[in-house]
Amino acid sequence: MKPEISTETKVQSPKKPLRKRFNIKEEYLWGYLFVLPPILGFMLFAFLPMLFSIYVSFTAFDLYNPAVFNGLDNYKRLLFEDDLFRKTIINTFYAALGIPLSIVLSLIIAMALNQKIKGLSFFRTAFFLPTVCSIVALTLLWRWIFNSDFGLLNIMLGSIGIDGPAWLSSETWAMPAMIIQGVWSGLGMGMILYLAALQSVNPALYEAADIDGANGWNKFRYITIPSISPTTFFLLITSTITALQDFQRFMIMTEGGPNYATTTVVYYLFLNAFRYMEMGYASAMAWVLGLIILVITIINFKLSKRWVHY
């Protein structure tokens, strides 16, 4: 028996490096094959379109005739001549004011739902309802809730003696109405993510704080907030990106009006590209917005080092 084993090892040892290299190469091959589809999709549907849109942004292009190079004209027009673009930027950031409100509210809801209470799944479903529903159905519904004459909101306000405004047809109130609608529809996702985060906070931390005699506020401030900060960060980043690109609900509910009070950058971009057939101009707009989002995301990442604890 003994010599047999030693022969085997002797025979195998010179072959081993070869076989190992073969195995590794095989792993490379399969690895590349497995990641090929998404990478190919990325090249075809993201990277090439990106390069092309940079080029188009320096041209006048109506989709049907060949693009005509016009240098920085689109960007000049965008930044210095188009007052409407400036207005849509302001509108977009105004609409984004709903983000902090939504984050705080979803944390409060998640904390209330993180206790051992009855009807948990009922409450969870109720708060998650808007997330499951289609944007079209929701916005149609809200258009009607905000109706000045027979809308639900003003009738409810009327019952407590408040004369409600003509929400969506008022230049002053259209955006606050859209913020209310946005916060309402975004609560579910934030709630679910915070709930998951709260459930994973180390209970030993609270027990230690109890022994030290910490009160509820201190526990919240020094344990809960830091522990869930990665989730807060995730929500902040994703909801900022979504909010700055938001336009579908504006398109259905207000059509950007009244008097462009609710025209967001992306809705304006959409109008330019697909209604006025100014593809070059729309592409320039996309890149200006893309750069703004990039800068905000980078600032968010840099600041996160001060308050996000992993």
Partner 1 sequence: MAQKVEVTWYQNRQKRAVIKRVFSYIFLTIGAAIMALPFLWMVSTSLKSPGAIFTIPPEFIPREWRWDNYVRVFTDADLLLGFKNTLMIIIPTTIVGLFTSSLAAFAFAKMRFPGRDMLFFALIATMMLPGIVTLVPQFIIFRDLGWLDTFKPLMIPGMFGAAMAVFFLRQFFMTIPSDLIDAAKIDGLSYFGIFLKIMAPLAKPAIVTQGILGLLAGYNDFMGPLIYLNSPENFTLQLVLASFRGYYTSEWTLIMAGSVLALIPTLLAFFFAQKQLIEGITMTGLKG
Q: How far is the CB of 261 from partner 1 (least distance, A)?
A: 21
Using the rule CB under 8 A, is 276 a contact of partner 1? Answer: no
The string of DSSP codes covering 240-278 is HHHHHT--HHHHHHTTT-STTTT--HHHHHHHHHHTS--
Q: How far is the CB of 94 from partner 1 (least distance, A)?
A: 19
Q: How far is the CB of 37 from partner 1 (least distance, A)?
A: 4
Using the rule CB under 8 A, is 234 a contact of partner 1? Answer: yes
Question: Using CB under 8 A, which of 164, 257, 258, 290 touches partner 1?
Answer: 290
Question: Using CB under 8 A, which of 99, 261, 271, 289 touches partner 1?
Answer: 289
Question: Using CB under 8 A, which of 78, 175, 179, 187 touches partner 1?
Answer: 187
Ramachandran assignment for 119, one of left (phi > 0), alpha (psi -120 to 50 degrees), beta (any other): left
β-strand pairing of 68-69 with 59-60: antiparallel
Tokens of 3: 């010599």
Query: What Cα–Cα distance (Å) separates residue 153 from each residue in 139, 145, 150, 241?
Result: 15, 6, 9, 29
State which of positions 200-219 bind partner 1 (CB under 8 A). Answer: 200
d(CA 1, CA 186): 71
State which of positions 132-151 bind partner 1 (CB under 8 A). Answer: 132-138, 140-142, 144-145, 150
- Name which of 259, 266, 131 is nearest 191 in CA terms: 131
State which of positions 244-263 bind partner 1 (CB under 8 A). Answer: 244-245, 248, 252
Q: How far is the CB of 13 from partner 1 (least distance, A)?
A: 19
Question: Using CB under 8 A, which of 77, 87, 124, 219 touches partner 1?
Answer: 124
Inter-axis angle of helices 120-132 and 98-113, nearest 10? 150
Tokens of 58: 């320096």
Contact stretch for partner 1 (CB under 8 A) within 69-77, 80-88, 152-160, 166-174 = 152-160
- Mapping DSSP to helix (H, G, I), strand (E, B) and coil, where does residue 115 land? coil
Tokens of 162: 């408040």
Beta bridge partners of 59: 69
Q: How far is the CB of 3 from partner 1 (least distance, A)?
A: 26
State which of positions 83-112 bind partner 1 (CB under 8 A). Answer: 108-109, 112
Q: How far is the CB of 123 from partner 1 (least distance, A)?
A: 5
Q: How far is the CB of 259 from partner 1 (least distance, A)?
A: 21
Compare residues 162 and 172 and give the one whose CB is closer to partner 1: 162
Using the rule CB under 8 A, is 273 a contact of partner 1? Answer: yes
State which of positions 15-74 bind partner 1 (CB under 8 A). Answer: 24, 27-28, 30-32, 34-42, 44-46, 48-50, 52-53, 56, 63
d(CA 98, CA 105): 10
Say what the alpha-carbon torsion angle 142, 144, 150, 153 is, to the nearest 10 degrees: 0
